[in-house]
């Protein structure tokens, strides 16, 4: 029997199907739950209704229920007020689910499970870009050696450059990167990594945006098939900034247009970090906590 997993984040909902062989994303929807959120009132009524509607429609479409589906709400969902939490539990129960919010420790645990890998004993920098925070994780010979959180995220770039998606405004790639580098100038980042793993659906974005992806010859783990050289990444980003309109970004993922609104900000934030760390090879990755959940379940099954 197939299993289904719902990853409910602060700004996006992803639904996955797992058939014991591969993990496939079957639904994705961006809803900015953080927008107008407060710890007193929680998410807005409009966003609340969008969420319940999406879950109900997805349940009907894919025959999801509490027996075959697990929900992993994280991020902002740990901050919602008690009354809204109880309402969500009730509405999700009516659809056929238990509304499950995982703790920060659980999220960290599953995240670490997801990125665990030998990576051919290489020295790897994992870059995980968020809306307000960017996390850097240093892995050496398969072990996590250091974690660092940078107080910069996509929101910084969007606030500083609100017209970043308007090619008529001519927001320059170098201008944005210099702004980012100035914010993180005091951060100490090593410069002897074999490669960087770029988290957050970047593989799909880079395939659709037609980056020059080449076979990954740095390490083999059966998951990260492609890589891109920094100079090719830089060249393509320059082209995207100059020529790619917001409408063209929306057309890349038409079923979830909002997902691409911050693509330029996300890409240049990654590039600035790669530049500072003198990264020559970038490996795009789609790993997330659901990969960690599945790994954890597999290990428990083995140990039975």
Q: Mean per-residue pLDDT for 90-115?
A: 95
Q: Which two tokens stand for residue 214?
A: 């080449």
Q: Mean per-residue pLDDT for 116-145?
A: 91
**Stronger pLDDT, 44 or 249, i.e. the higher one:** 44
Q: Mean per-residue pLDDT for 141-170?
A: 93
Q: Does position 124 have pLDDT exceeding 90, yes or no?
A: yes
Q: Mean per-residue pLDDT for 208-230?
A: 91
Q: What is the Cα–Cα distance from 185 to 150, expressed in whole angstroms?
A: 11
Q: Does position 85 have pLDDT exceeding 70, yes or no?
A: yes
For residue 259, the model assigns a pLDDT of 80
Q: Does position 213 have pLDDT exceeding 70, yes or no?
A: yes
Question: pLDDT-based confidence at 204, cuts 50/70/90?
Answer: low
Least Cα distance to 88 among 103, 98, 102 occurs for 98
Give the DSSP letter string of 93-159.
HHHT----B--HHHHHHHHHHHH---GGG-EEEEEEE-SS-EEEEEEETTEEEEEEEES--HHHHHH
For residue 299, the model assigns a pLDDT of 86
DSSP, collapsed to helix, strand or coil, labels residue 228 as: strand
In terms of C-beta density within 10 A (0-12 exposed, 13-18 middle, 19 or more buried), how is residue 159 classed? Answer: exposed
Q: What is the Cα–Cα distance from 103 to 271, expressed in whole angstroms?
A: 31
Q: Give the contacts of 178 (CB within 8 A, at least 6 positions apart).
A: none
- What's the residue count for the chain? 304
Q: What angle do CA 122, 221, 279 make, to 5 degrees?
A: 40
Question: pLDDT-based confidence at 201, cuts 50/70/90?
Answer: low
Least Cα distance to 71 among 140, 6, 14 occurs for 6
Numbered ranges of CATH 3.30.420.40 in the chain: 3-102
Q: Which residues of 202-234 are buried (b: 16+ CB within 10 A; e: fewer)?
A: bbbbbeebebebeebebbeeeebebbbebeebb
Most confident range (mean pLDDT) of 96-100, 138-142, 197-201 is 96-100
Q: Mean per-residue pLDDT for 95-100?
A: 95
pLDDT > 70: what percent of the chain?
98
Q: Does position 64 have pLDDT exceeding 80, yes or no?
A: yes
Domain 117-289 annotated CATH 3.30.70.270:
no
**Stronger pLDDT, 256 or 16, i.e. the higher one:** 16
In terms of C-beta density within 10 A (0-12 exposed, 13-18 middle, 19 or more buried), how is residue 285 classed? Answer: buried
Neighbours of 19 (CB within 10 A): 10
Q: Does position 273 have pLDDT exceeding 90, yes or no?
A: yes
Q: What is the Cα–Cα distance from 127 to 277, expressed in whole angstroms?
A: 11
| β pairing state of 134-140 and 143-150 | antiparallel
C-alpha 237, offset from chain centre:
19
Q: Does position 203 have pLDDT exceeding 70, yes or no?
A: no
Q: Give the contacts of 100 (CB within 8 A, at least 6 positions apart).
A: 70, 71, 72, 73
| CATH architecture assignment, domain 3-102 | 2-Layer Sandwich (3.30)
**Which residue(s) pair with 284 in the sheet?**
198
Numbered ranges of CATH 3.30.420.150 in the chain: 117-289
Q: Which two tokens stand for residue 255?
A: 């079923």
For residue 277, the model assigns a pLDDT of 96
Q: Does position 200 have pLDDT exceeding 80, yes or no?
A: no
In this structure, of 80-94, 100-114, 195-209, 238-252, the range with the lowest mean pLDDT score is 195-209
For residue 9, the model assigns a pLDDT of 92
Q: Mean per-residue pLDDT for 179-193?
A: 94
Q: Does position 254 have pLDDT exceeding 90, yes or no?
A: no
Question: pLDDT-based confidence at 202, cuts 50/70/90?
Answer: low
């Amino acid at each position: 029997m197939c299993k289904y997993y719902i990853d409910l984040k602060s700004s996006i909902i992803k639904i996955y199907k797992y058939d014991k062989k591969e993990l496939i994303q079957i639904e994705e929807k961006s809803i900015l739950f953080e927008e107008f959120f407060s710890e007193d009132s929680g998410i807005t009524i409009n966003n609340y209704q969008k969420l319940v509607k999406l879950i109900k429609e997805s349940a009907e479409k894919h025959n999801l229920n509490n027996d075959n589906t697990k929900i992993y709400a994280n991020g902002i969902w740990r901050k919602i007020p008690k009354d809204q939490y109880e309402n969500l539990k009730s509405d999700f129960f009516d659809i056929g689910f238990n509304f499950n919010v995982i703790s920060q420790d659980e999220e960290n645990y599953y995240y670490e499970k997801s990125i665990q890998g030998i990576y051919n004993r290489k020295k790897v920098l994992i870059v995980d870009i968020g809306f307000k925070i960017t996390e850097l994780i240093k892995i050496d010979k398969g072990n996590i050696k250091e974690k660092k959180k940078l107080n910069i995220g996509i929101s910084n770039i969007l606030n500083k450059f609100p017209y970043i998606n308007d090619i008529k405004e001519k927001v320059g790639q170098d201008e944005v990167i210099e702004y980012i580098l100035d914010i993180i100038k005091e951060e100490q980042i090593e410069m002897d990594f074999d490669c960087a793993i770029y988290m957050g659906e970047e593989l799909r974005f880079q395939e659709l945006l037609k980056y020059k992806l080449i076979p990954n010859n740095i390490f083999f783990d059966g998951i990260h098939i492609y890589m891109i050289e920094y100079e090719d990444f830089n060249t393509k980003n320059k082209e995207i900034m100059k020529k790619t309109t917001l409408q063209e970004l929306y057309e890349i993922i038409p079923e979830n247009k909002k997902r691409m609104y911050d693509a330029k900000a996300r890409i240049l934030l990654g590039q600035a970090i790669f530049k500072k760390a003198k990264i020559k090879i970038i490996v795009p990755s789609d790993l997330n906590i659901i990969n960690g959940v599945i790994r954890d379940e597999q290990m428990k099954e083995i140990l039975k």
